[in-house]
Structure 1
C-alpha cells in the first residue's frame, strides 16, 4: 500500500541532481520480460540515450503497473509505464493505494489488450465457465491483477485466484494447474504465441463486461478487437483495452521531460516493437490524451512548441 506521505518523501529524495536518479540515471520502470512494457521501454531508452547520452537511461524490469508506481514513490525510478486504471486508482487513493498520489503523465503511448486465455481443446467458452476454477489473474503488483480482481468481482464470478508472472502462468495453463490466465499486453504477445503453438489457445470475449466496469470505475476501459490471426485462431475477439501512460516522478527536471516528449513525437515509428501487428498507437493526437491524469505542464508546453 502506498501513502501520499511515502510517495512525496520518495520524490523529495531525488531533488538536487541535474538529471534525476543516482549518478545521473533515468530509470524506466517497465514490466515483465516478454511483454510490451519492457520492449517499448528498451526502445524508448535507446532513443533517449541517442539524443542525450548523459541521461544514461536504463530499463528496470518489474511485475507491472502497481509496482511501477511503487518504484516512483520510493525514488527507484524516474519514469514508469502505468495502465490508466491503475493510475486512476493511485490518483484517487483507492485500493491498492491508501491515499491520493499527485501523479501526472507525459503521454498516452499505446493500448494494452486484456487477454483472458484458456486452452483451445478445453470446455471453457465464457468467463462464467471459470466459476470455481483456478485462474492466474496477473502477477502480484501488476495492473492486470488489479483489473482481474475488478473483472471477476463485477461479473460475480467466483474463481480461485492465483497470481503468476507470465512465464509461470503459461506453464501452469499448459500443465493444467490453472484453467485460464489473464495477461495485459500488446498484440501478439510472444509468450502467448509460443503457448498457442505448443497447446493451442482460445481468447475469451469480454465485451459484455465493459458497461459495468465503466459504471464502477469510469471511462478507463475501451472496447477493442483482437484481429483474427493474431494467434492461430482466425476469428476476431472483442475484449477490453486499457491505455498505457508514461508517468514521470514529480522531481523529473524540465529538460528531461522535454527530451522525453520530443522522442515520443519525433521517433514514434522507432518505438513500436517489431512483432506488433499495428494495433497499438503512438501519434501526437493520442499522446496528449492522458485521462485520467493531467499532462505534466512541461510536457504540455513541449507539445505546443512541437505542434503549435
Structure 2
C-alpha cells in the first residue's frame, strides 16, 4: 500500500511539473519559434516601431507597408505601418512623440522646421531626416469630358484641394497663385485621395489636386471607370513656380499612366522619410541601412526609384539624423 501511494504521488508531481513547463513555454503573444519570433510573426522581446504613412489610396501607405516588413526582417524592431493624414499630420505626430518614423513631402518638412504656413507658431524642432525617396508629382485630375483643359479652367469649378494644412493643400494654393487664382476663385473641397476620385466619378466635384508618386492607386481605380485627363502646367508657369518656391522641380506624368495618350508636364516635390530626433543613433543607422539596401523587396513601382545614392538630393536644410548620416558617410554619399 505504501509503495502504491508513493507511486501515485510521484506520478501526480510529474504531471504537475509537465503542465507548468508547458505553460512556461507560451507567452501572451504565442509560442516562441526557432528564429525568436512568436506565432504572430513578431520577434520576442523586440521594440515596436510605428511608421506613419498617408491615406490608403495614396503611395505612402503601400510603400510604408513594404518598409515595415523590411525593417522587421532586417533589424531588432517589430515595425508596423499606419495610415494617416500624411505629411503635415505626420510631422505634428512626430513632434508630439506619437510615432517614430513618418513619410513627408520635402516642402512640408521645410515648413515644419522653419515654423511657416501651417506650422506658424508651431515649429517642429525634434524631427530629423533619414533621406529622400522619389518625386511626388502634383497631379491635377479631371475627366476627359469635363471641359477642363488648363489650370485657368478650374475657375468656378468644384475642386478638391486636400485637407486644410496638408501638403496637397499648400501645393494647390501655390499653383493657383502662379496662375492668378486663389481658393476664392474655385469651390474648394477638402477631400482625401479616395474621396476625391469618388467625387470625380460621381460628378459631385469637377477636378482634384493629388500630390503623390505615380501611379497613384486612387487615380488608377478612377481610370478603370472613367477616361481621365491630367491637366498640364505650362512651361512659363513652371518656371515662375520654381523661382518663387525652389523646392519644386519640373516633372512629367508619362504617356500610358492612367491610360493617358501623351506625356503631361507638371511639377513635383520629393517624398522623404523623417524620424524623431530622440531615436537612438544605432537604431536609426540599422533602419536606414535596412531600407536602402533592400529596396528590391519593395513591391510598389516607386521602389525602383529609391536609391541610397539619391537619398540626400532635395533634402534642403532639414538636418540628417546622426544614424542616417553615419550610414551615408560609410557609403561615400554626401549632401
Smaller-chain TM-score bracket: 0.7 to 0.9
When the two structures are superposed, what TM-score results if normalisation uses the length of structure 1?
0.86
Q: Which residue, out of 122, 127, 144, partners 2:168?
A: 144
| Deviations 1:115-154 (CA, angstroms, capped at 9, x unpaired) | 1001111211000001111100123453111211222123
- Mapping for residues 135-284 of structure 1, pairs under 5 Å: 135-157=159-181, 158-208=185-235, 209-217=237-245, 219-273=246-300, 276=301, 281-284=305-308
Question: In the alignment, what sits opposite 1:10?
Answer: none
**Residue pair 2:248, 2:268 contacting (<8 A) in 1 also:** yes
- 2:77 aligned partner: 55
Q: Secondary structure at the match of 2:324?
A: helix
* Offset at residue 295 of structure 1 (A): 2.0
Task: Find out whether 1:114 has 2:141 as its counterpart.
Answer: no
> 1:240 deviation in Å?
0.8
TM-score computed with the length of structure 2 as normaliser: 0.79
Q: Tell me if the contact between 1:117 and 1:181 (Cα under 8 Å) persists in the aligned partners.
A: yes
Aligned to 2:69: 46
1:82 and 2:104 aligned: yes
Which structure has the bigger radius of gyration?
Answer: 2
Q: Deviations over 1:6-47 (max 9, x none)?
A: xxxxxxxxxxxxxxxxx8321111000021101111111100
Unaligned runs of 5+ in 1: 1-22
Task: Tell me if the contact between 1:86 and 1:143 (Cα under 8 Å) persists in the aligned partners.
Answer: yes
Q: How do 1:277-292 and structure 2 match up within 5 A?
A: 281-289=305-313, 290-292=315-317
Deviations along 1:282-305, one digit per CA (max 9) or x if unpaired, are 112211222242322321111122
CA positional deviation for 1:109? 1.2
* C-alpha RMSD over aligned residues: 1.8
List runs of 5+ in structure 2 lacking aligned partners. 1-45
Instruction: Give the conservation status (yes or no) of the 8 Å contact 2:252–2:266.
Output: yes
Deviation beyond 6 Å, 4+ runs, structure 1 = none
SS state at 1:70 partner: helix
